[in-house]
C-alpha cells in the first residue's frame, strides 16, 4: 500500500495464522511492524526523555490532540513548527482525534451532526469539537498519522444509536478528508465503527474503502483484556517474560538480582546501570527516579517483545513463539491462561491448549 505520506510493505506472512511482518514508511522514518506505540499523552512519556526513548528503538509515539490543543495550544504549535520540533522528537508521531476525551473525560452535552458539544473543564463554557477543528489541531501538531473524528458510542448502546454513529462517522470522515491541509505528509486514518454488529462493521468498512484513505483503524473494540491490567506498570510493577513483578512487595527488599537477568535494557544490562530489585523496592513510590527506571525497563520490554514477535513471523515460527511465551508467562499452568486470549488466538488457528 502506498500513498503520498505513507507506504506499507509486507515482508513476511505466517503460514498458519494471519500474522504478518511489515515496513511502515512515514514522513519521519520507517517503522517495523508489528509495533508497540508508547503513549506520550502531553507530548512526552512520563519519566523518560525523547533521547532515551530513541535509544530504546522507538520510532512511533502517540500524542493526544485534545491535551496538546489545550496546552501548549495551537498558536504555540504553529509558532514552533509543530510537535516534533517542540518536543525534540525526530521520529514519527500519531495523534488521535480528541473525540474520545470529550466523551470519556468530560461532561458530554451532546453529539450533533456539526460535532461534539461539551463543557470546558477549565471554565465551564460550552465548546464544540468539529471534524474540521480536530484536523486543524492535528495539522498544527504535524503528526505523521492523524485520525478522523468519529462518533464514539458505548458497546452496549442500542442498535439504532450504533447505526446512527456509524453513518455519522462516515459523514465526518468526508469532512476530515476535505479539511486535511497536508495529505502529502500527514496520513489520515479512517476509523471503523459499528459496535458489536458485524453487518454494520462490514458496511462501515465498505464505505471507508471507497474513500481510499491511507490507513484504517478499528474503533470501539479491544482484545478482551481487563482495564485493571493496563494500569499495573504505573505502580511499581516491572514486566518480565515470566510475569509481572510487584517490586513493592517485601520479598524484594534483599533481592540483589537485576529486574530481569536476560533483559538488555540499561537498567538490567551488565556493565550499564545494573539496577537491582532491592534498590527499586527501596525507592518505589518514594523517589521520582523509580518511575524513570521502571518506565525505561517496561518500554524496552514491550518494544523488544514486538521485535521478537516480528522475527518469529519472518522465520515462520509465530505459533510456536506464542505458545512458548504463554507457557513461560504462566509457568506452564494452562488453566490460568485468559479465556479472551485463548478464544482470540483460536480464530487464527493457534490453539494455546494443545
7-96+128-220: CATH, from 3.20.20.105, 3.40.50.2000, 3.30.930.10, 3.30.465.10: 3.20.20.105
- pLDDT of the residue at 304: 98
- pLDDT of the residue at 180: 98
Q: Let me know: does 217 contact 245? Beta carbons within 8 Å.
A: no
Q: 321 is written with which cell numbers?
A: 513463539
Give the span between the Cα atoms of 319 and 58, in whole angstroms: 25
- Reported as a single tens digit per residue, the pLDDT across 87-132 is 999 999 999 998 777 666 656 668 899 999 887 776 777 888 999 9
- pLDDT of the residue at 232: 62
Q: What is the mean pLDDT of residues 327-351?
A: 96
**What single string gives the DSSP state of each residue in 82-105?**
SHHHHHT--SEEEE--SHHHHHHT
On average, the pLDDT of the chain sits at 93
**In the chain, what percentage of residues exceed pLDDT 70?**
95
- Reported as a single tens digit per residue, the pLDDT across 224-278 is 777 776 666 667 899 999 999 999 999 999 999 999 999 999 999 999 999 999 9
Give the span between the Cα atoms of 111 and 130, in whole angstroms: 10
Give the span between the Cα atoms of 350 and 320, in whole angstroms: 9
Q: What angle do CA 242, 247, 284 make, to 5 degrees?
A: 145
- pLDDT of the residue at 105: 63
- pLDDT of the residue at 234: 67
- pLDDT of the residue at 103: 67
- Reported as a single tens digit per residue, the pLDDT across 122-159 is 677 788 899 999 999 999 999 999 999 999 888 789 99
Give the span between the Cα atoms of 337 and 1, in whole angstroms: 36
pTM surpassing 0.75?
A: yes
- Residue 333 pLDDT class (50, 70, 90 cuts): very high
**In the chain, what percentage of residues exceed pLDDT 90?**
79
In Å, how far are 310, 311, 336 from 321, measured between CA atoms?
10, 10, 18
Q: What angle do CA 207, 210, 212 make, to 5 degrees?
A: 120
Judged by phi (left if over 0) then psi (alpha if -120 to 50, else beta), residue 252 lies in: alpha
Give the span between the Cα atoms of 40 and 60, in whole angstroms: 10
Beta bridge partners of 243: 240
Domain coordinates in residue numbering, the chain:
7-96+128-220, 228-316
Helical H segments across 218-314, by residue range: 227-230, 277-283, 288-314
- Reported as a single tens digit per residue, the pLDDT across 35-92 is 999 999 889 988 899 999 999 999 999 999 988 998 999 999 999 999 999 999 999 9
Give the span between the Cα atoms of 6 and 14, in whole angstroms: 24
Amino acid at each position: 500500500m502506498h500513498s503520498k505520506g505513507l507506504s506499507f510493505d509486507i515482508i513476511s506472512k505466517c503460514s498458519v495464522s494471519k500474522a504478518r511482518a511489515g515496513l511502515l514508511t512515514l514522513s519521519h522514518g520507517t517503522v517495523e511492524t508489528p509495533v508497540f506505540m508508547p503513549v506520550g499523552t502531553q507530548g512526552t512519556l512520563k519519566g523518560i526523555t525523547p533521547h532515551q526513548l530513541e535509544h530504546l528503538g522507538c520510532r512511533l509515539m502517540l500524542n493526544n490532540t485534545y491535551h496538546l490543543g489545550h496546552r501548549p495550544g495551537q498558536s504555540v504549535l504553529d509558532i514552533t513548527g509543530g510537535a516534533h520540533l517542540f518536543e525534540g522528537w525526530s521520529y514519527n508521531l500519531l495523534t488521535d482525534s480528541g473525540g474520545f476525551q470529550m466523551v470519556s473525560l468530560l461532561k458530554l452535552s451532546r453529539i450533533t451532526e456539526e460535532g461534539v458539544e461539551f463543557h470546558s473543564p477549565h471554565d465551564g463554557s460550552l465548546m464544540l469539537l468539529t471534524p474540521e477543528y480536530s484536523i486543524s489541531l492535528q495539522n498544527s501538531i504535524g503528526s505523521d498519522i492523524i485520525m478522523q473524528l468519529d462518533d464514539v458510542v458505548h458497546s452496549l448502546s442500542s442498535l439504532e444509536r450504533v447505526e446512527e454513529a456509524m453513518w455519522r462517522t462516515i459523514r465526518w470522515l468526508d469532512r476530515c478528508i476535505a479539511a486535511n491541509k497536508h495529505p502529502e505528509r500527514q496520513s489520515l486514518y479512517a476509523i471503523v465503527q459499528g459496535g458489536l454488529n458485524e453487518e454494520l462493521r462490514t458496511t462501515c468498512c465498505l464505505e471507508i474503502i471507497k474513500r481510499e484513505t491511507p490507513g484504517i483503524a478499528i474503533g470501539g473494540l479491544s482484545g478482551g483484556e481487563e482495564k485493571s491490567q493496563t494500569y499495573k506498570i504505573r505502580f511499581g510493577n516491572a514486566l518480565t517474560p515470566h510475569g509481572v513483578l510487584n517490586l513493592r512487595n517485601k520479598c524484594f527488599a534483599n533481592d540483589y538480582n537485576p529486574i530481569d537477568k536476560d533483559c538488555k535494557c540499561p537498567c538490567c544490562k551488565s556493565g550499564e546501570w545494573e539496577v537491582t530489585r532491592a534498590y527499586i523496592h527501596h525507592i518505589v513510590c518514594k523517589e521520582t527516579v523509580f518511575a524513570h527506571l521502571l518506565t525505561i525497563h517496561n518500554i524496552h520490554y514491550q518494544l523488544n517483545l514486538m521485535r521478537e514477535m516480528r522475527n518469529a513471523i519472518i522465520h515462520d515460527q509465530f505459533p510456536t513463539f506464542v505458545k512458548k511465551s504463554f507457557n513461560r508467562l504462566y509457568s506452564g499452568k494452562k488453566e490460568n491462561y485468559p479465556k479472551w486470549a485463548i478464544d482470540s488466538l483460536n480464530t487464527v488457528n493457534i490453539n494455546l491448549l494443545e
